[in-house]
Structure 1
Amino acid sequence: MPSNNPERSPFDWQRHEQELADVVQLHPDADDQDGPTLVDSPEAQRPIGLAATVRRGERRPVVPSWLRSRAELVYTVRWGIGHTAHVAAYHAVRVPKYAGKLALRAPRGLLKILGGYVRWLLDLEGEAVRQATVRTEDAEAYLKLSRQRDRRVRWRGIVTLFLVAALIIAASLLAVSPAWWHWCALTLGVIICGVVGAPADRPLLDTAVVAPRVAALTSDVVTRALSVLSIAGINQALARNPKAIGFPAPITRDGPGWRADVDLPPGVTVGEVMDRRDKLASGLGRPLGCVWPEGNADVSPSRLVLWVGDEPMAAGRQQPWPLLRASTVDMAKPFPFGTDPRGRIVHMELPYTNLLIGSIPGYGKTAAIQLPMLVAALDPHAELWAYEFKGTGGLDPLMKVCSRYASGADDDTAEAGLMALRELRAECQKRAAIIKKLPKDVCPDNKVTPELARRIKGLHWLVAAFDECQELFAHPEFGKEAGELAEKIIKLGRALGVILLKATQRPDAKSLPTGVSANVGTRFCLRVMGQLENDMVLGTSAYRNGIRATMFAKKDKGVGYLVGAADEAQIVRTFYLDGPSVERVCERAYAARQAAGTLTTRPAAEPTARRETLLEDTLSVIRADEPKVWMETLIERLAALRPEVYGELTRDQLGAALKPYGIATTQVWGTDPATGKGANRRGIERATLADAIAERNRRRGDQAA
């Protein structure tokens, strides 16, 4: 046993003092008689056990993501089948071309085969060596090579005799065989000779799919790209240690691109790298749309997850919406909203949240707001309201499944939106009273649950969408009250099953009240032009934190930042449905609501008498001195003209009935008789109506002739 006496073992004692000096520091304020203060104790320096490290480690998924998701699996299989079918069809169409190339190359291939065989038979490949021995006058070596050649030629000649005999026998059998055998043999010979005779730089088959060549992502490439970002923390760390940037996991393929997990040097955050995304893309030598850095805050603010795609996100073909063929859905469950840069499906939830969508015009707001609306439409137990203040009819296909619907850029539509918000406010109060009376075992959390939404009358999901809502909130007469009502509904409605969806192309303080934007739980921002608009949609300090929708380019249509659907902000490319696709989905939703008995609005059947005389009656109630007339005025006059036919006619029904004849509503300035003030409302032109009647009569005359 080693002794503890320093006199008996001076060497051990000195070593102990040296080890102690390595792990302790003398505190500058410590009293000498108290001895040294232990700062870095041996227990603190002891390495963490393997079990604890493994326990905290991130487990990689056993099954790839595209196999865990049914939608992604179907998409991948469909892509594989489509790719195979395309390649097969591409080459099948070019079979005559390939046959001609083989026929032209067959003689050259036959000569190559015969020439090669003769060289092999006569051992001509060794002729150069034998000639070299002759030039060096090495008789012994030449004799050895000559004997070797004689042996080779002898047994190769025997093989040739057997081969010739076999060919003669085969030719004899082929001569007495059916004719199609002759063609098969000729085809096989042409194919073999044509393949052999093909030039090395001119392959037989054309390229059906041109795959882009993308350089592999390596640690050296990532390190070099990070070093050119002009981040002081990175440059100083690399100057001290060339390996200051760590890679905790191997760089691997992840979907249609590469994934690199990077540990930045101490003091450097992921936000600093994201601020210089354009420089990072330049350092990697890739297009900006291919480079998508993001953080992993669960590990560290300096853990960078860098994904580099094979092609820009906006250039890739978007997969179809997984719910495109669904008959019904459960609105309480997350639904597919879009895909991230890696092609993974991003889901969004509707219950217990509200949605705000913002961008400059033309970047996919209406297409984005349609997706949650279609989800609500496909749930036969959910109620849908829709108000479109642009007046272009972008949401018209959803009208058949909406309990409330209005479309227009006039005061009447804005007033209808305000009235809808008043009804929603009253609906929230009514639902709160219902929930208050429910027993705790039925409603323990005092909020609408999916079970309550289906079981209790009056607590069903209610989704109200307001597209181009800035026209309502910025309205000089209705805007202030609308903003106050929307704020109250957003605060109270999330627990009561009332959900607001808002889309705006002008996210500023006037067009989007602060109380509305500050309380929305889920936000989606497509391309915007400034920091103010970015933070109005995505939340205060979003721009400063690196969540910047200003980085999206002109070609990034449908691509935006989604905040609130997950713990971290996500870059999402929304699914896109064209007009006919939306119509088909709405038809299935309409049928599902009819079957469930929950259809709250049905298109009124147009009377035959109205359809036959509508144009003439409308023209008859417009005076000759009136070039333009409001729709409201026409409805009043038509109802007075023929109450039994036009008594229940509404403005929307009149506009829809005139539309097939090419008569579109337009802005008409007039004087309101009730107030005596001027107003701008929707109406029609008398000349357009007269032209439509003349055109219809002309077509009828042509058909009669």
Structure 2
Amino acid sequence: MTSEPITPAGPPDEKAARIVDLAQRRADRAAAAQGLSAADAADAETVAPEPVLVGEVVDPPDRRPDLSELLDRRGGPVLPLWLTDPGQRRDMLRRAVNSAGYHVGTHLALSPVYAGKVAWYAPKGAARLVGQVLGWTSAETGNWHLRQDAANRNDPKTWLDLDRHRMRQASWRWWVTGAGTLTAGTGGLVLASDLTPWWVKVPVLAAGLVGLARHGRPLDKPILARTVVRPVYRKLTAELTRKGIMATGLVKRPEDIVFPAGVGEIRRDGPGYLAIVDLPDGVIAVDVVEKRELLAGGLRLPVDQVWPEVMPREHPSRLALWVADRPVSAMKQPPWPLLRGGQTDYFKPFVYGFDPRMRPVDYRMDERNSLFAGFPGSGKSLSARVVMAGMALDPLVQFAVFDLAGRGDFDAFEPLCPPDLFGSGADEGTKQAAYQMLMWLLKECDVRGPRIKHYATQGLNSENKLNRAIAAKDARLRPVVAAIDEVQELITDPEIGKSSAAAMTSIIKRGRALGIHLVLMTQRIDKESLPKGVTSNIANRTCLAVPSHVEVDLALGTGAYRQGAQPTRFEVGVDSGWGVRVGYGPMVSARAAYLDRAAIEKICARGVALRGGTAAAVDMPTARDILDDLRAVWVADERGQHWEVLTTRLADRFPDAYSSLTPDALSALVRGKKVECSRQVKVKGANRSGLYLDNLTKALAERDSTPD
């Protein structure tokens, strides 16, 4: 196939004509190849590309903005952020006052040392000053090296010429020195007389002595001591930011790191500096977050002072780098806003803690559940207690608390719990009580739905969900916060573990819209202790200090570590309460507000006062025996039965106790009673796992014959 030659461009009209003619000839050839006539080709729908001249740009230049657009464009803020933000303004004022107080106090403490130095160096300074004045007056210091050179060469003529030049200079300098001496003497007499008040004499005399002392001291021995200690932080600059990012090895050229206009200016942000940068193509912010240690090494700072973050709702290559003034773990947190007074609302957010920049971080309870996971000493109980303390200040909230560690971390909440809904201990009785609490919550899920629907039809809510208006109208529908510490002890229990996990899964799914909020805490982060059905349906998940990314993804969700969640950086025992939270707003690193035991007790006392006394008893489901219930639903003439059938019968006969029971959970419950089960039970030609009646009867007989 031959191509049409392109002739050099001529005048504009001729050039356009040649382009049109060329396009027409190509269209005719294409029509002929398809078997179309010229007329048919003209009627056919075609999309012809715009003609482009060789050597010209394809993309047209950007349109220039008109005057109205230019006038509407706004730059950054007129005033610095620390002047417009009250929190930062207070922080800057506090820093200035503290710095001034430190300097003044240091100099006052060292004033006796300064007085001694002035007394020692002032005479030396006076003698040095007199010698320098006499040397200048006599002009001896002017050309002495030239006169010395003439004397060394035995050149008297030159020496005499130079000496006459010296005497001419000295002739008028003696008059200047004499006038100055007379003036200084007169001033001294006036200063020493009774005409001058003491408040003038003292400053002038002090200034004169200090001046003489400075003139007489050695250059390497200043009179005033240094009060400015080298800061433990380095002020963040563009050059330093680029140096730190390049230390990660992800960027090769510093000019590839761009500070976007309007947002990329390095500015003061809380107790540190914030820089927002755009990384080069192919590098995303998560890559830098993963190399935080290398970034801190490039900045020559401790890792605890360097906080790279992914910016939500921005392109993945935009990085926010915040550098603290000092290690964040050493900073003092602001006090919890609700520590001295105030109330909360279950249906509204409240302050949970503070992020590295010491900004408050909110927490929300309604339509959610909570999980706190981390190794021992990471601060799980401390963090969860803040959430529960916040709910203690809402008089509508009911509590159910079971501390399966038995350390007493939650004893202060006992007055807020009904009699049967509090337990503390690692014994079997406490675990059974916690299991009964789950059965009570399942029952609540069954009865709350129709009641909420009834009030919603009356106009108290546009959706069939619990809100404050409904909860305030009907005491039976008040929100419930149920906390279980060391929940893995319940989930991994050989007897009630699977049934408990199934109940939790059902409560988490159904109860969130009904005003039931589970708060689970665990130090064992694996698939056995945290089943996927439990974790995947919990919204508020906080992962505290853990050793690897495996635990991070199990606690926060698959891919959380890759998205920038790195609680592996927190040190157990040092960074207690620090964690990465997801589920409410963007993923954030936050430290729970510090509330010690005494503070928790005072907050719980306020909660009891808001409720008008301790909590009343609730209607707990009757404790049942699984072996008796199996015997009750067993059909006559059955030699054996499968778990699926038995589970359905129990749920139909005793819905309050077994509505969420699964075949696996029933099998675990029966095995926990030391009953022999079978993997092959033949019923109506089907062989599946189940239970034989003889084994059930034998277990009942042994139980009845065993004395209590």
**Normalization by structure 2: what TM-score?**
0.69
- Identify the residue that residue 246 of structure 1 maps to in structure 2: 258
Amino acid at match of 1:541: G
- Native 8 Å contact 2:368 2:512 kept in 1: yes
1:265 aligned to which of 280, 290, 294: 280
> Which shows bigger deviation, 362-371 or 99-108?
99-108
1:517: how far off?
0.4
Q: SS of the residue aligned with 1:37?
A: coil
CA distance in 1, matches of 2:704, 2:195: 104
Amino acid at match of 1:433: P
- Native 8 Å contact 1:174 1:182 kept in 2: no
2:379 aligned to which of 336, 341, 364: 364
Structure of higher CA gyration radius: 2
CA displacement 1:508-532 (0-9 Å, x = unmatched): 2221222110011111111212333
1:479 aligned to which of 497, 515, 520: 497
2:423 aligned to which of 403, 406, 416: 406
CA displacement 1:619-659 (0-9 Å, x = unmatched): xxxxxxxxxxxxxxxxxxxxxxxxxxxxxxxxxxxxxxxxx
CA distance in 2, matches of 1:212, 1:202: 23
CA distance in 2, matches of 1:103, 1:512: 71
Q: SS of the residue aligned with 2:132?
A: helix
- Identify the residue that residue 483 of structure 2 maps to in structure 1: 465
CA displacement 1:385-430 (0-9 Å, x = unmatched): 3221111111223334444432111112212222222223333334
- Identify the residue that residue 293 of structure 1 maps to in structure 2: 308
1:173 aligned to which of 179, 188, 194: 194
Distance 1:394 1:297, change over 3 A: closer
Identity of aligned residues (%): 31
- Identify the residue that residue 119 of structure 2 maps to in structure 1: 106
- Identify the residue that residue 431 of structure 1 maps to in structure 2: 448
- Identify the residue that residue 131 of structure 1 maps to in structure 2: 144
What are the within-5 Å matches in structure 2 for residues 197-596 of structure 1?
200-204=219-223, 210-212=229-231, 214-227=233-246, 229-231=248-250, 234=251, 238=253, 243-248=255-260, 249-403=264-418, 404-438=421-455, 439=457, 441-454=459-472, 456-554=474-572, 555-567=574-586, 569-587=587-605, 589-590=606-607, 593-594=608-609, 596=610
CA distance in 1, matches of 2:51, 2:398: 66
- Native 8 Å contact 1:71 1:322 kept in 2: no
Amino acid at match of 1:298: R
CA displacement 1:139-193 (0-9 Å, x = unmatched): 8887676555543442342233233223224324289x99x99999987776666
- Identify the residue that residue 638 of structure 2 maps to in structure 1: none
Distance 1:557 1:63, change over 3 A: farther
- Native 8 Å contact 2:542 2:579 kept in 1: yes
Amino acid at match of 2:523: Q
Structure 2 gap segments, 5+ residues each = 1-5, 21-25, 34-45, 151-157, 618-701
1:537: how far off?
0.9
> Which shows bigger deviation, 551-560 or 442-451?
551-560
Distance 1:209 1:151, change over 3 A: closer
Q: SS of the residue aligned with 1:243?
A: helix
CA displacement 1:478-500 (0-9 Å, x = unmatched): 32222222222222332222222
What are the within-5 Å matches in structure 2 for residues 591-630 of structure 1?
593-594=608-609, 596-601=610-615
CA distance in 1, matches of 2:511, 2:413: 23
- Identify the residue that residue 37 of structure 1 maps to in structure 2: 49
Amino acid at match of 1:160: T
- Identify the residue that residue 685 of structure 2 maps to in structure 1: none
- Native 8 Å contact 1:109 1:195 kept in 2: yes
CA distance in 1, matches of 2:247, 2:707: 63
Distance 1:146 1:83, change over 3 A: same
1:359: how far off?
0.7
- Native 8 Å contact 1:107 1:193 kept in 2: no
Distance 1:35 1:560, change over 3 A: closer
CA distance in 2, matches of 1:446, 1:58: 46
Distance 1:70 1:574, change over 3 A: farther
CA distance in 1, matches of 2:540, 2:509: 13
Amino acid at match of 2:256: A
Distance 1:64 1:301, change over 3 A: same
CA distance in 1, matches of 2:70, 2:486: 52
CA distance in 2, matches of 1:558, 1:564: 18
CA displacement 1:640-687 (0-9 Å, x = unmatched): xxxxxxxxxxxxxxxxxxxxxxxxxxxxxxxxx9988899xxxxxxxx
Count of residue pairs the alignment pairs up: 582
> Which shows bigger deviation, 384-393 or 263-272?
263-272
- Native 8 Å contact 2:137 2:174 kept in 1: no
Q: SS of the residue aligned with 1:599?
A: coil
Amino acid at match of 1:599: G
CA displacement 1:108-129 (0-9 Å, x = unmatched): 1243145325634763596432
Amino acid at match of 1:164: G
Amino acid at match of 1:364: G
- Identify the residue that residue 161 of structure 1 maps to in structure 2: 182
What are the within-5 Å matches in structure 2 for residues 44-63 of structure 1?
45-47=60-62, 50=65
CA distance in 1, matches of 2:551, 2:57: 54
Distance 1:311 1:185, change over 3 A: closer
Q: Does 2:10 match 1:10?
A: yes
Amino acid at match of 1:289: D
- Native 8 Å contact 1:525 1:560 kept in 2: yes
CA displacement 1:226-250 (0-9 Å, x = unmatched): 445455xx55xx5xxx733332123
> Which shows bigger deviation, 147-156 or 460-469?
147-156
CA distance in 2, matches of 1:598, 1:18: 95
Amino acid at match of 2:555: V
Distance 1:244 1:211, change over 3 A: closer
1:312: how far off?
3.2
- Native 8 Å contact 2:125 2:217 kept in 1: no
Q: SS of the residue aligned with 1:129?
A: coil
1:361: how far off?
0.7
- Native 8 Å contact 1:103 1:194 kept in 2: no
Q: SS of the residue aligned with 2:553?
A: helix
1:533: how far off?
1.7
- Native 8 Å contact 1:102 1:195 kept in 2: no
**Normalization by structure 1: what TM-score?**
0.70
